[in-house]
């Protein structure tokens, strides 16, 4: 896992444990904490433990995932959520561009053109894809973010909180903000409360991701939801198939589509 402090990945582990048990396997969990060095150590430990296969949320370079068993054969691996330039592994992902486009088009339909974003790390396909989806949607309407209105929150709640405070405590703050994952949305909503900025009267907020705690926010957050359970089950189905039936099959790539869920955190632009 990339970050077990993120409820998205904690729920994924919960789903994975039940799924592997149904196939007669046990689950060993490692947390890279978004650090490539931790990931390298975890992958080495997986090989040392003679595990049957690995489900990986990647944080490092493609070469890290070209795993081999002690006989030099390809080691069954499925990459989850993030894509790397890897020609050997199956992948299960969400359509990140579509997720951001759905949210951004909704904000544009409400009349917002001064839209900002708190993104994830842009070396990850989740961070880059969601920013690209937002920028593409805005460009199709002939608008673009203003300088300083796109900042990285590193997919961390505390970083997003700090970035949001800086961005929103300015006279030229955006009228709407797209937050690229649910954990960062929690930090953004905390920053709004500390700055006494009211959502959605003063600013509209929308995000991508499904995490526990989001449903309890008030106002309820407009967001794209990802089918975590279905994605996890599909990833493990591919992995078990790879373990049991074919290490030499061509890699398979499965892309799930997000769903836009409307809450009360967005409002039409108020013209001054």
Instruction: Report how far residue 145's alpha carbon sits from residue 221's, in angstroms, rounded to the nearest whole number.
Output: 22
Is the pLDDT reported for residue 72 higher than 90? no
> Poorest-confidence range of 27-36, 56-65, 232-241?
56-65
DSSP 248: T
Q: Is the pTM of this model over 0.75?
A: yes
Q: What is the DSSP code string of 172-208?
A: T--SEEEESSHHHHHHHHHHHHHHT--TTTT-EEEEE
Q: Flag whether pLDDT at 29 surpasses 60.
A: yes
* pLDDT value, residue 179: 97
The mean of the pLDDT values for the chain is: 90
The arithmetic mean of pLDDT across residues 143-165, rounded, is 96
pLDDT for residue 96: 96
- Residue 211 pLDDT: 73
Residue 119 has what pLDDT? 97
Helical spans, DSSP H, in 49-152 = 96-109, 125-140
Q: Would you state the pLDDT for residue 112?
A: 98
The confidence score (pLDDT) of residue 168 equals 95
Per-residue pLDDT tens digits for 112-152: 999 999 999 998 899 999 999 999 999 999 999 999 999 99
Q: What is the pLDDT of residues 176-217, one digit of tens each?
A: 999 999 999 999 999 999 999 999 999 999 999 877 666 667
Q: What end-to-end distance do the CA atoms of the chain give, in Å?
A: 47
HSE, CB side, 13 Å, CA atoms: give it for residue 140. Answer: 12
What is the arithmetic mean of pLDDT over 46-52? 90
The lowest-confidence range among 67-71, 141-145, 220-224 is 67-71
State the residue for tokens 């409307």.
262
- In this structure, is the dihedral angle defined by the CA atoms of residues 95, 96, 98 and 102, taken in order, positive or negative? positive
Mark out the alpha helices in the chain (DSSP H runs): 7-22, 36-48, 96-109, 125-140, 157-168, 182-195, 228-245
Q: What percent of the chain has pLDDT over 70?
A: 91
């Amino acid at each position: 896992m990339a970050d077990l402090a993120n409820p998205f990945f904690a729920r994924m582990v919960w789903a994975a444990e039940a799924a592997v048990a149904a196939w007669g396997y046990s689950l060993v969990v490692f947390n890279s904490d978004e650090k490539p060095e931790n990931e390298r150590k975890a992958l080495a430990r997986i090989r040392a433990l003679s595990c049957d296969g690995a489900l990986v949320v990647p944080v490092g370079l493609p070469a890290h995932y070209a795993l081999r068993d002690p006989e030099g054969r390809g080691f069954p691996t499925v990459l989850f959520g993030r894509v790397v330039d890897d020609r050997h592994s199956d992948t299960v992902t969400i359509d990140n561009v579509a997720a951001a486009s759905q949210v951004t088009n909704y904000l544009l339909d409400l009349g917002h053109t001064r839209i900002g974003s708190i993104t994830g790390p842009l070396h990850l396909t989740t961070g880059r894809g969601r920013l690209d989806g937002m920028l593409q949607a805005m460009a199709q309407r002939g608008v673009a973010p203003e300088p300083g209105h796109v900042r990285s929150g590193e997919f961390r709640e505390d970083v997003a909180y700090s970035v949001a405070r800086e961005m929103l405590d300015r006279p030229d703050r955006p009228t709407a903000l797209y937050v690229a994952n649910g954990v960062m949305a929690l930090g953004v909503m905390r920053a709004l409360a500390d700055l006494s900025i009211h959502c959605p009267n003063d600013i509209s907020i929308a995000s991508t991701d499904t995490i526990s705690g989001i449903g309890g926010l008030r106002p309820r957050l407009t967001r794209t939801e990802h089918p975590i359970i279905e994605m996890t089950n599909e990833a493990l189905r591919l992995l078990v198939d790879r373990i049991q039936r074919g290490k030499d099959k061509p890699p398979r790539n499965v892309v799930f589509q997000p769903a836009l869920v409307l809450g009360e955190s967005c409002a039409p632009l108020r013209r001054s």
